[in-house]
Amino acid sequence: MSSAVRLEDVYRTYGAGDSEVRALDGVNVEFPEATFTAVMGPSGSGKSTLLQCAAGLDRPDTGRVVVAETELTGRNETSLTRFRRRHIGFVFQSFNLVSSLTAAENVALPLRLAGRRAPDGEIRRALSSVGLADRLGHRPGQLSGGQQQRVAIARALVVKPSVLFADEPTGALDSNRGREVLALLRGLVDELGQTVIMVTHDPVAAFRADRVVFLRDGRIDGDLVRPTADAVAARMTSLEAE
């Protein structure tokens, strides 16, 4: 199985002098295609930085990032943006919908930003696949949190991304709505062969992944394949205790 995302010797430091923070301290990790990987770690372990570097939102100081067999290192902002909008989808904890646009328009936005047509059928399909076929014309303010997150997922999927990145996608939802969203992501991997990389601190969420990668102080600290929630929780407890 080839890898969808590969990080090689990635270092990323913020600030300078006394306030220097080593967010990533020599990270080597691969995320295979059509798998669901969770990235976990205590607060400040570098989870979000890892995700942002892998997604081309942030640039490593040194090291390589390869997504869909394309090297991201050394590209300028415009070129990175073009790459991202073709190959990468995002889902975030705060759903980040444009409040002035309807659900359908939010979903169409990435296509239109890329200068592509956004056929109604395609938009409708994307929203149906997250179970929101009847909410096309609603504004974010008129939708529940779970519905908003599903619109965000539809928006991420509409460009048919090589990789879908999710940063704490259930963080702002109650447990029932959170479970629905996780089931949706799981389904994408199983049924469509979508690659999903999710940052979370919730062992219940991580349990739905194929593999959990642990991060501590900016370094990879082992992984668990086919994890159980208990194993994940135990591992997290030990990470946080150290």
The binding site for another protein (CB under 8 A) comprises: 52, 57-58, 77-78, 81-82, 84-85, 90, 92, 94, 96, 98-101, 109-110, 112-115, 155, 159, 167
Distance in Å, CB of 140 to another protein, minimum: 9
Q: What length does the chain have?
A: 242
CA atoms within 13 A on the CB side of 80: 16
Indicate the residue among 52 and 194 with the shorter CB distance to another protein: 52
Distance in Å, CB of 237 to another protein, minimum: 27
Gap between the Cα atoms of 152 and 130, Å rounded: 10
Distance in Å, CB of 126 to another protein, minimum: 14
Distance in Å, CB of 100 to another protein, minimum: 3
Nearest alpha carbon to residue 49 among 67, 70, 27: 27
DSSP-H helix ranges across the chain: 47-54, 77-87, 103-113, 120-129, 145-157, 175-192, 203-206, 229-241
Indicate the residue among 58 and 210 with the shorter CB distance to another protein: 58
Indicate the residue among 57 and 66 with the shorter CB distance to another protein: 57
Indicate the residue among 172 and 231 with the shorter CB distance to another protein: 172
| Backbone torsions φ then ψ of 95, nearest 5 degrees | -60, -20
